[in-house]
Amino acid sequence: MAATLLDGIRIANEIKNEVAEEAGRLSETGLRPGLAAVLVGSNPASEIYVRSKVQTCQALGLYSEKITPPEFSTTAELLELVHDLNARDEIDGILVQLPLPPQVDSKKVLLAVLPEKDVDGFHPMNVGFLSTQRPGLVPCTPAGIMEMLRRSNIPLQGADAVVVGRSDIVGKPMAMLLTNANATVTICHSKTRDLPGVCHRADILVAAMGRTGFVTRAFVKPGATVIDVGMNKITTREEFDKYFKGNEKREQAFAKNGYTLIGDVHPEVAEVAGALTPVPGGVGPLTIAMLMANTLKAAKLRRGARFQSPAMAERG
Ligand code: GUN
């Protein structure tokens, strides 16, 4: 039987509606949540992401500012910019889009963001809050995946969860969130022995290693929930045929755009998984929805208001 597709667009819309409603109530009291997005230089993918983040703020009634320092900005210049944003009361959230250009010390810049305005959840203080189960700001992609699992009624307590990929942005916080939800968690990476065997034990398998279609049927226990965090482009006919031969819908998109998106999970996994996130339309939309939720959360935490939204109450 084919896997149930977990609809990220629908769940993201639910979360965004909740954020818009609550942001509207806050704004009536004169506290309009505000996000500053910093985009250094002109990385085409980053430009698309940041545009989408700013547009979503506008759609939800949040204040937003896009700040675009030049490609050759120094670490010192970016530190000064972050300090200015830290000091501005109308800015609740600061997002520094990654990757930063090679001359910039990214860790130094991220460390300069005030933890209470760190809507990406990258500051070591927020990482520590998460690992010690204190309230704080949680990285958007793993937080969105938790929302998707919760809203899809996928049980976590006692479940075997395997996270493939150990990045600071996705893999590590994902493992921490699943651990906090009482799953039994294994983190895998490129040096893991018998990766298919380890993955095959998973009730919940999170693929976040950035390798096109890497997770095949052999990795997946029948009925498992598979979360695909990958976002890779297929641009050649040869690759297209390898993954999507005979898929009419994909064929049309490929002909029209010259590419199609694929995750880290091979399409054949849909035949064995119990539930699966599609690419596109799975995890991606949730990342932006949770950025909006984090901006609202930051506004409320910093300005002393109490939480009400279920999207965030869950996460402390
Ligand atoms: N680049 C890729 N993903 C992210 C993210 O979640 N936040 C930021 N700031 N940059 C990214």
What is the per-residue pLDDT across 39-93, written as a single tens digit (0 to 9) for each? 999 999 999 999 999 999 999 999 999 999 999 999 999 999 999 999 999 999 9
Task: State the pLDDT confidence band at 20, using cuts at 50, 70 and 90.
Answer: very high
Atom of ligand 1 nearest to the CA of 139: 6
pLDDT at 174 exceeding the cut of 60 = yes
- Cα(98) to centroid(ligand 1), Å: 5
Mean local confidence (pLDDT), 265-278? 98
What is residue 295's predicted lDDT score, i.e. its pLDDT?
Answer: 98
Atom of ligand 1 nearest to the CA of 98: 10
Atom of ligand 1 nearest to the CA of 99: 1
Q: Do the bridges between strand 232-234 and strand 260-262 make them parallel or antiparallel, or are there none, so unpaired?
A: antiparallel
pLDDT at 315 exceeding the cut of 90 = no
Amino acid at 136: G
Give me the active site residues, please: 53, 97, 120
- Cα(194) to centroid(ligand 1), Å: 30
Confirm if 106 and 100 have CB atoms less than 8 A apart.
yes
Residue percentage of the chain with pLDDT more than 70: 96
The verdict on the CB of residue 169 being under 6 Å from ligand 1 is: yes
Mean local confidence (pLDDT), 238-261? 96
Indicate the CATH number for domain 140-285. 3.40.50.720
Q: How far apart are CA 97 and CA 259, in angstroms?
A: 24
| Sign of the CA dihedral with 59 first, then 60, 63, and 64 last | negative
- Cα(95) to centroid(ligand 1), Å: 8
pLDDT at 152 exceeding the cut of 60 = yes
What is residue 311's predicted lDDT score, i.e. its pLDDT?
Answer: 47
Mean local confidence (pLDDT), 197-203? 98
pLDDT at 239 exceeding the cut of 80 = yes
What is residue 305's predicted lDDT score, i.e. its pLDDT?
Answer: 54
Same fold, 27-117 and 140-285: yes
Domain boundaries, the chain: 27-117, 140-285
Residue percentage of the chain with pLDDT more than 90: 94
Q: How far apart are CA 9 and CA 282, in angstroms?
A: 7
pLDDT at 310 exceeding the cut of 80 = no
Task: State the pLDDT confidence band at 103, using cuts at 50, 70 and 90.
Answer: very high
Please give the mean pLDDT across all residues of the chain.
95
Percent of residues in the chain assigned helix, strand, coil, to nearest 5: 45, 15, 40
The verdict on the CB of residue 96 being under 6 Å from ligand 1 is: yes
Indicate the CATH number for domain 27-117. 3.40.50.10860
The verdict on the CB of residue 95 being under 6 Å from ligand 1 is: yes
pLDDT at 135 exceeding the cut of 50 = yes
- Cα(110) to centroid(ligand 1), Å: 12
pLDDT at 309 exceeding the cut of 70 = no
pLDDT at 219 exceeding the cut of 90 = yes
The verdict on the CB of residue 286 being under 6 Å from ligand 1 is: no
Atom of ligand 1 nearest to the CA of 291: 6
